[in-house]
């Protein structure tokens, strides 16, 4: 707690020290807004399965309609199967790291790696993180924290509240996200959907919507819980966009469908598929807001595939397909990438997850 209070006292000094961290070396953003949506654990077979259930065929999910697509490799530094921390770090910084590392140069000198969220902040843009996992979980943490161990979630929260300070933090809670911590860090706080929806957009304001004490429930764990307390991913995403849009200069937003991965680990196809379909609805909502905006880039991808899913029989619309699983862990399967909007044509063919950063945040020559 003392670290948070001290961090707030020195926040203005910190801002002065770091304000030129990116602007000295990087070209200003070509985009007004960048929105990256990550289906954690969502490989090509997860996408196929969701399409079979939704409409009885492949290629019908919202993001599958995007005009530019690619396949993305996700391996660790030096090879090997990634975890969410290393994969999200590669996307957020353009640098491969070891498993469990959050945006630090390991292997290397252990220094902090510059993230896309920090890049947009340095150019005076608002920023946000939205997830159905804990807000301090590995994927969002790689964009707004620096740590040698993804499990250090108390330190990750301190990074959020003391240093990077994203304008929007929406997701599940943890042992370290008691209400007073956010309020002392000058965030407006919601702990239920109604309060979150009542947030009023204001420029340079900070909003935290923290639900429960861990990951948010699966959709299939009961609509009653969602109706009373928990918003869906699509509701959180659209509210985050509303709030961030108060910044006339634009924003950066990372949205994660975090529980696709968890259902994959547990070989629960029903939960996996329904979380993927909610992710599809989330993308549709974002697309509807920005389909006519020439200055927004929308990227949809995954950090890795989970479970080694293979669809072996399409049982038609409204029926869960027959599937097999090959592992309870992550796999090395390349994951799909879908791009829409400004410079979307730069995302095509065979790519690596380190390719995102230099396209979005090019260095000065």
Residue 346 sits in a domain whose CATH number is 3.40.720.10
Closest by alpha carbon to 252, among 361, 133, 345, 112? 361
**pTM score, two decimals?**
0.93
Q: What is the pLDDT of residue 315?
A: 97
- Asked, for residue 6, whether it belongs to a domain, the answer is no
pLDDT for the residue 177:
72
| Domain-located, residue 147 | yes
SS3 (DSSP) at 166: coil
Q: How far apart are CA 35 and CA 237, in angstroms?
A: 10
Residue 10 covered by a domain: no
Task: Give the span between the Cα atoms of 133 and 359, in whole angstroms.
Answer: 28
Digit-by-digit pLDDT tens for the chain (365 residues) are 434 433 433 333 333 333 336 688 999 999 999 999 999 999 999 999 999 999 999 999 999 999 999 999 999 999 999 999 999 999 999 999 999 999 999 999 999 999 999 999 999 999 999 999 999 999 999 999 999 999 999 999 999 999 999 999 999 997 777 778 999 999 999 999 999 999 999 988 999 999 988 999 999 987 666 766 899 999 999 999 999 999 999 999 999 999 999 999 999 999 999 999 999 999 999 999 999 999 999 999 999 999 999 999 999 999 999 999 999 999 999 999 999 999 999 999 999 999 999 999 999 98
**Cβ density class 112-148: b for 16+ within 10 Å, e for less:** bbbbbbbbbbbbebbbbbbbbbbbbbbbbbbbbbbbe
What is the predicted pLDDT for the residue at 175? 73
12 domain residue, yes or no? no
What pLDDT, on the 0 to 100 scale, is given for residue 17? 31
* Containing structural domain, residue 323: 34-360
Give dist(CA 281, CA 219) in Å, integer: 13
Determine the pLDDT at residue 174: 78
C-alpha–C-alpha distance, residues 291 and 296, integer Å:
9
Structurally, the chain folds into a number of domains equal to 1
- On whether residue 27 sits in a domain, the answer given is no
Provide CB contacts within 8 A for 17, sequence distance 6+. none
Is residue 193, in this structure, part of any structural domain at all?
A: yes
């Amino acid at each position: 707690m003392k670290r948070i209070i001290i961090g707030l006292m020195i926040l203005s000094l910190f801002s002065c020290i770091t304000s030129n961290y990116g602007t000295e070396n990087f070209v200003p953003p070509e985009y007004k807004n960048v929105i990256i949506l990550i289906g954690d654990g969502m490989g090509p077979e997860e996408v196929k399965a969701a399409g079979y259930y939704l409409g009885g065929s492949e290629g019908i999910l919202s993001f599958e309609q995007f005009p530019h697509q690619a396949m993305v490799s996700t391996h660790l530094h030096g090879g090997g199967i990634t975890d969410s921390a290393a994969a999200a770090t590669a996307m957020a910084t353009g640098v491969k790291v070891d498993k469990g590392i959050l945006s630090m140069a390991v292997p290397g000198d252990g220094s902090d790696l510059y993230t896309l969220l920090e890049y947009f902040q340095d150019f005076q843009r608002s920023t946000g993180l939205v997830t159905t996992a804990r807000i301090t979980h590995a994927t969002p943490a790689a964009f707004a924290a620096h740590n040698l161990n993804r499990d250090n979630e108390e330190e990750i929260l301190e990074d959020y509240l003391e240093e990077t300070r994203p304008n929007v933090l929406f997701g599940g809670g943890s042992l370290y996200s008691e209400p007073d911590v956010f309020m002392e860090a000058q965030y407006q706080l919601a702990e239920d959907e109604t309060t979150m929806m009542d947030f009023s957009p204001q420029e340079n304001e900070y909003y935290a919507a923290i639900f429960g004490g861990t990951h948010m429930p699966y959709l299939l764990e009961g609509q009653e819980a969602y109706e009373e307390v928990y918003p869906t991913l699509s509701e959180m995403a659209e509210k985050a966009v509303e709030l961030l849009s108060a910044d006339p200069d634009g924003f950066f937003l990372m949205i994660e469908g975090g529980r696709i991965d968890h259902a994959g680990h547990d070989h629960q196809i029903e939960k996996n598929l329904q979380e993927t379909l909610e992710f599809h609805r989330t993308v549709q909502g974002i697309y509807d807001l920005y389909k006519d905006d020439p200055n927004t880039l929308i990227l949809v991808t995954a950090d890795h595939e989970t479970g080694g899913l293979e669809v072996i029989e399409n049982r038609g619309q409204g029926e869960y397909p027959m599937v097999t699983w090959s592992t309870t862990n992550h796999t090395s399967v390349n994951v799909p990438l879908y791009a829409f909007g400004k410079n979307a044509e730069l995302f095509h063919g065979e790519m690596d997850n380190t390719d995102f950063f230099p396209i979005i945040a090019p260095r000065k020559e």
